[in-house]
Amino acid sequence: MKKYKVMFMIILFACLFPALVAGKVTADAASTSVQSSSSAKKTLSIKKKRSKKTIFIAAGHQKSGISSKEKLAPGSSATKAKLTSGTTGVSTHIPEYKTNLAIAKATKKALEKAGYNVIMLRTTNNCPLSNQQRTKKANKSGADLHICIHCNASSSSSATGPLVCVPASSKYVGKKIYNKSCKLGSKLLSSVSKATGKKSHGTIRSNYYTTINWAKIPTVILECGFMSNPTEDRQLNSSSYQKKIAKGIVNGVDKYFGFK
């Protein structure tokens, strides 16, 4: 009798086991589906928030500099050249204005893919606007942020990594724009450093930049790396590294707005 009872239990378990396994798989699948649905909703929610923000991307310099002078800042008697010509890659011999535009285009693509609206200062290498005029264009564009894309140069060929330039004080831009520009600079610098795997070269706080001094919206200059460093020059001019910079900019903008 005991023998038959054991056999019966074995047969019963054999019959029920597939159903139990199927039930567990179904439950796991349902759980995964719920998690996936929740994640998708969160992504859509963030994308919807991004769609309400506009970023003005300014590729620094152009084919030719403008040597005539303009006011450094509102109310200032100091003047500077309207537009400098930029640097040139020590290895690639590519002029900075071309590299800046390539990075700006990669950034536009990445920002738009994330859901942001983007306005470009220039899409070609001819943009005969002074630094003051460029910032005034950004101010009038309706954009929420103004990011100026540049590359750097140093007398030391060992210098590497991104840096940002922000106002030294609220003297020309006012307290609100000063605080927001500093916040934007901080978020961009940490995110681009992380995305590229490069140590940050730090933050320059100065009231010497015409581009920043005329700002009426949060504005920073992002120096993406050093074209005076042979290795970094080649990286800055490669599409794969430009995409890393663009990814870092998107992450920095997300952090600025609190989307991440």
Proportion of the chain above pLDDT 90, given as a percent: 81
Q: Which long-range contacts (CB under 8 A, 24 or more apart) does 79-84 make?
A: 80/131, 80/210, 82/130, 82/131, 82/132, 83/128, 83/129, 83/130, 83/131
Residue 152 backbone zone (phi > 0: left; psi -120 to 50: alpha; other: beta) = beta
Q: Which amino acid is at 200?
A: S
Predicted confidence at residue 21, as pLDDT, reads: 47
Q: How confident is the model at residue 260 (pLDDT cuts 50, 70, 90)?
A: confident
Predicted confidence at residue 4, as pLDDT, reads: 52
The arithmetic mean of pLDDT across residues 77-90, rounded, is 96
pTM of the full predicted structure?
0.85
The arithmetic mean of pLDDT across residues 224-248, rounded, is 98
pLDDT for residue 9 is more than 90? no
More confident residue, 61 or 38: 61
Burial 166-196, CB ≥16 within 10 A → b, else e:
bbbeeebbeeebbebbbebbbbbbbbbbebb
3-state secondary structure of 115: coil
Predicted confidence at residue 98, as pLDDT, reads: 98
pLDDT for residue 197 is more than 70? yes
What is residue 216's DSSP assignment?
A: S
Predicted confidence at residue 31, as pLDDT, reads: 57
pLDDT for residue 99 is more than 80? yes
More confident residue, 260 or 177: 177
Least confident of 3-7, 69-73, 112-116: 3-7
Q: How confident is the model at residue 43 (pLDDT cuts 50, 70, 90)?
A: confident
Least confident of 39-43, 160-164, 170-174: 39-43
Q: How confident is the model at residue 12 (pLDDT cuts 50, 70, 90)?
A: very low
150 vs 5, 22, 82, 102, 248, CA distance in Å? Answer: 82, 58, 16, 11, 15
The arithmetic mean of pLDDT across residues 122-139, rounded, is 96
| Closest to 189 (Cα-Cα) out of 167, 179, 176, 204 | 204
